[in-house]
A and B are shown apart, each in its own frame.
Chain A
Amino acid sequence: MRIFDPHIHMSSRTTDDYAAMHAAGVRALVEPAFWLGQPRTSVGSFTDYFDALVGWEPFRASQFGIAHHCTIALNPKEANDPRCAPVLDLLPRYLEKDGVVAVGEIGYDSMTADEDKVFAAQLALAIDHELPAMVHTPHRDKAAGTERSIAVVRESGIAPERVVLDHLNEVTVAMVKESGSWMGFSIYPDTKMDEERMVAILREYGTERVLVNSAADWGKSDPLKTRKTGDAMLAAGFTDDDVDQVLWRNPVEFYGQSGRLDLEGAATEAEFAGNSILRGARK
């Protein structure tokens, strides 16, 4: 089973996770820019993070035979903080980097006026930089937030098939399918979505334009949820080809729209800035 995790926050995971993911079949992933668990207080904190997403983290992944790409954005929660918002002016530099395959995560957290403004501005950046967009749907008031997100996407003029709306569930999947955008699902141990519910959604809505991710981060999460969903699909009677479509070909098709997906990138580099992760390997 070859797996492309289209949404996972590897900066908060260990090398053990990388090894386990590779053993489970993960060969490529996308790490979206998001918040850090505790609030950032300056623009410099964003740029150091972005530098890691285009530098250190792809190197770390390559040590384990996994191709790493990322998305770059000001996230919805921190869009409300005037200390963070000026990072918007720096995004055009980062959105041109080789490893950046989408603008994201953008969208809504609490649906404030600031979030409206920053969401629309970043969809415009996606158009300018010819990138797809990853939209995080809010955890609170999700149905209304998803509906409003679809409307903002429509008003922006970006093609719906260049947008994924993520963290969907039984209540929000139909309206996204209807809109023509991609449907993202985050499979979590307790919240959001689980493997069995995911299989039921795939039965009802089909395997096209669906992205399944682990969204693993520093919270309770599991970087192997992609594999577990693939296993659950097979157990439920889906074919190997169905699984390959959902877990590999779909993310390749979605992010391939950036023109920057490099899946030869899993080759091992010797060192990053002199730091080898494979401690003990060097004398």
Chain B
Amino acid sequence: MNAWLDDALTKVATDASALRTLFPGVGRRVGRGPSDRPGWTVDDVARVRLLEAAPGAAAEMPDLYRYGDAAEKRAVLRGLSVVDTGDAGLELVADALRTNDTRLVTAAMGEYGATHLDDSAYRHGVLKCVFMGIPLAAIAGLDRRTDEELLRMMRSFAAERTAAGRDVPADLLPLLNEQDA
């Protein structure tokens, strides 16, 4: 266990505003490599633990995101699935989906996005991932939210790629074939 993180968890448990200065430096203290949780880095895990430990974290999260660097923003997006922000987190997800930063777009299409995005926004989020080369396996909720319209968009995307003589991402093919069956 990391002594710095233990101390930080204690601080945010008594005062959520301590997140403002503890959140940025997490990577320097705990590292930035892969964690046991697929797709998450050890600093992601540590930052989300800090959010979980802070009563009132939900009120801090919009500004943690606004003033965060990419690693901090990603952690806030990941934290949306464990801290109850109601629909308030949707604005952050929408902001992340406007970027062209694969780290943020991937995190935006996590469990919170899969639960809260409306059908159109979810479909466009998935399509954006495909465009950016983000593996479908990194997107939450595909099993329950894939609908006929999303499949149509995917087929259209695949047709454009094929017409241009470019490759269709391999992980898209099972999805398209499923529809053909």
How long is the Cα–Cα vector from A55 to B67 in the complex, in angstroms?
11
How long is the Cα–Cα vector from A55 to B22 in the complex, in angstroms?
19
Number of interface residues of B (CB under 8 A): 16
Q: Is B169 an interface residue (CB 8 A)?
A: no
How long is the Cα–Cα vector from A183 to B21 in the complex, in angstroms?
31
Q: How far in angstroms is the closest Cβ of chain A from B1?
A: 22
Partner of B99, one of A93, A94, A273: A273
Range of interface residues on chain A? 10 to 19
Interface string of B23-43 (1 = CB under 8 A from A): 111011000000000000000
Measured CB to CB, the nearest residue on chain B to A129 is B21
In the complex, chain A residues whose CB is within 8 Å of the CB of B22 = 96
Contact B101 A93 (CB under 8 A): no
How long is the Cα–Cα vector from A275 to B100 in the complex, in angstroms?
7
Q: Is A253 an interface residue (CB 8 A)?
A: no
Measured CB to CB, the nearest residue on chain A to B32 is A98
How long is the Cα–Cα vector from A215 to B133 in the complex, in angstroms?
40
Partner of B24, one of A96, A273, A275: A96
In the complex, chain A residues whose CB is within 8 Å of the CB of B70 = 55
Contact B24 A98 (CB under 8 A): yes
In the complex, chain B residues whose CB is within 8 Å of the CB of A259 = 28
How long is the Cα–Cα vector from A95 to B23 in the complex, in angstroms?
12
Measured CB to CB, the nearest residue on chain B to A93 is B67
Q: Is B143 an interface residue (CB 8 A)?
A: no
Measured CB to CB, the nearest residue on chain B to A92 is B21
In the complex, chain A residues whose CB is within 8 Å of the CB of B20 = 92-93
Known: A92-B20, A93-B20, A97-B69. A274 touches B132 (CB 8 A): yes
Contact B100 A90 (CB under 8 A): no
Q: How far in angstroms is the closest Cβ of chain B from A31?
A: 15
How long is the Cα–Cα vector from A51 to B70 in the complex, in angstroms?
10
In the complex, chain A residues whose CB is within 8 Å of the CB of B101 = 272-274
In the complex, chain B residues whose CB is within 8 Å of the CB of A54 = 69
Measured CB to CB, the nearest residue on chain B to A99 is B69
Q: Is A41 an interface residue (CB 8 A)?
A: no
How long is the Cα–Cα vector from A51 to B27 in the complex, in angstroms?
18
Measured CB to CB, the nearest residue on chain A to B63 is A93
